[in-house]
Amino acid sequence: MQKNINLTEGNISSTLTKLALPIMGTSFIQMMYNLTDMMWLGRLSTNAVAGAGTAGFFMWFGMSLVLISSIGVSVGVAQAHGRDDMADAREYISNGLKLDIFVGLMYSLILLVFRNQAIGFFNLGDAEAIQMATDYLVIVACGFIFNFVNPVYSAIFNASGNSVTPFIISSIGLVANMVLDPALIFGFGPIPAMGIKGAALATITAQFIVTLIYIVVSRKNRVLFSHLNLFKLPNMNYIQRIFKLGFPSSLQSGAHALISMVLTKILANWGPTPVAVSSVGSQIESISWMTAEGFSTAIAAFVGQNYGAKNYDRVEEGYYKGLRIVSIIGMFATFLLIFAGGPIFKIFTPNDVVAIEMGKKYLWILGLSQFFITIEIASTGGFNGIGKTYIPATTGIILNLLRIPGALVLSATALGMAGVWWSMSISTVFKGIILTGLFIYTLKKGLHKE
């Protein structure tokens, strides 16, 4: 396993790239978890895709709750590294994990108790799709605690400058998921075909394996985990700090998930197929934004360590170099989705001509905003690194909220259901322009004044 990298010294481009590439690889692996599920479920039925996609919104909302701990711990650990204060870093880790586990268990319980009401919100109108969504949600909720814990462990290692370890561990989880998915969905030898239940079981089993490996690896890292005792009462001062740092990002992501649920409910007026198309399309589209989020995590760690060490010139140079790299990712994604959307979508629903045509339209519309979503995400990393997590959260929530009236107005025109997708794409363009402009203004004003 890789040792921690000191991000406050050395060549900026090589240091940032060395840190970012494994994180981007880890993000790509997280994306492949979802794509693998969708690919196999697409061969089962369109209703199976719609069911998993519907339940997936509650997984998304759950991951927004994870951000409270993962962002809070990441910023705290990175800045503690910059100050060379490992005792402070260990306190952030210990208390962040305790908070994360508590929130994860509460959320899982809520999903299990209110599963029927949760799926019923979408009015899918198809009994089979509703049952599939409910089955998927129940199984995932039973093992959701592993989905909560793993991103926090990953954030700890990334903030410490060790991005290779999370990449290796996530890769093992992906391989497990890729093997288990077809075996459990369609059956293999003595294993019976379990359909959508098999996809859910494959996901939580793979995440359980990842958690076990993180526990084993962390026990060998005495610098970061030597005083970790999850049964000791938490330090409320650190809990408050973590919450203050992580809650804005969590609120933004949670609001985004809820807004997307409302948009999906609007799409459901045209039946379960548009819902399935949005579920698959968003996973394909995530090629750009999850890769950019990987680089954003690297930018946050880089900025956090150098901000903690008061290397303000290095913060600025690192941000601009990171911004150029994610811009290239965004432009490539735009080209790919606009000109190759049809063939790409066909991989996931090969037998549904209507879904393929809808998917091609979805990817073309969302492809126009890929450059802007990548620069928005990179700038979010910059703000997170200096501890101003509330700025990207505020701009994100306001502009995402505008998607709802935009979708209602545009879908009532000749655009029909495509109006929902146009509303999403247009708001993304504005988010990218505004947030990037705000961070550049912050740099021009001078970080020493922050």
Is the pLDDT at 450 greater than 60? The verdict is no
What's the mean pLDDT in 181-207? 90
Q: Which two tokens stand for residue 252?
A: 């933004």
Structural domain includes residue 95: yes
The answer for residues whose C-beta is within 8 angstroms of residue 61's C-beta and 6 or more apart is 254, 257, 258
Q: What is the largest CA-CA distance in the chain?
A: 66
Q: How many whole angstroms separate alpha carbon 284 and alpha carbon 72? A: 29
Q: Tokens 């093997």 — which residue?
A: 179
Contact predicate 329/292, CB 8 Å: yes
Nearest to 93 by CA among 229, 211, 210: 229
DSSP 369-404: THHHHHHHHHHHHHHHHTT-THHHHHHHHHHHHTHH
For residue 284, what are the CA distances in angstroms to 60, 202, 360? 16, 20, 11
Q: How many domains does the chain have?
A: 1
- Side-chain half-sphere of 161: how many Cα atoms within 13 Å? 22
- Asked if residue 5 belongs to a domain, the reply is no
Q: Is residue 7 part of a domain?
A: no
pLDDT digits (tens, 9 = 90+) for 207-233: 999 999 999 998 888 777 877 777 788
pLDDT tens for 362-389 read: 999 999 999 999 999 999 999 988 888 8
6 domain residue, yes or no? no
Mean pLDDT of 136-151: 92
Let me know the angle formed at the C-alpha of 113 by 116 and 102, rounded to the nearest 5 degrees. 135
The answer to whether residue 2 sits within a structural domain is: no
Matching residue, tokens 């379960």: 272
Q: In 231-271, which residue ranges form alpha helices assigned H by DSSP?
A: 236-267
Contact 112, 247 (CB under 8 A): no
Q: Is 1 part of a structural domain of the chain?
A: no
Sorted by sequence, the CB contacts under 8 Å of residue 434 that are 6+ apart come out as 395, 399
Phi, psi (rounded to 5 degrees) for 8: -90, 0
Rounded to 5°, the CA angle 45-49-51 comes to: 110
Look over the chain and give the mean of its residue pLDDT values, rounded to a whole number.
Answer: 86
* Separation of CA 122 from chain center: 22
Residues 68-122: tens digit of each pLDDT: 999 899 888 888 877 888 888 888 988 999 999 999 999 999 999 999 888 888 7
Q: Provide the 8-state DSSP code for 101.
A: H
In a domain, 313, yes or no: yes
| 3 domain-assigned | no
pLDDT score recorded for residue 98: 93
Expressed as residue numbers, the domain containing 189 is 12-449
Give the H/E segment covering residue 84.
none
Q: Taken in order 427, 428, 432, 435, is the CA torsion positive or negative?
A: positive
pLDDT at 296 > cutoff 70: yes
Read off the pLDDT of each residue in 158-170 and give the average, rounded to a whole number.
87
How far from chain centre, in Å, is Cα 117? Answer: 25
How buried is residue 364: exposed, middle or buried, by Cβ count under 10 Å (0-12/13-18/19+)? middle
Token readout for 298 is 């690297």
CA distance 223 to 2: 14
Whose CA is closest to 136, among 206, 224, 197? Answer: 197
448 in Cβ contact with 309 (< 8 Å): no
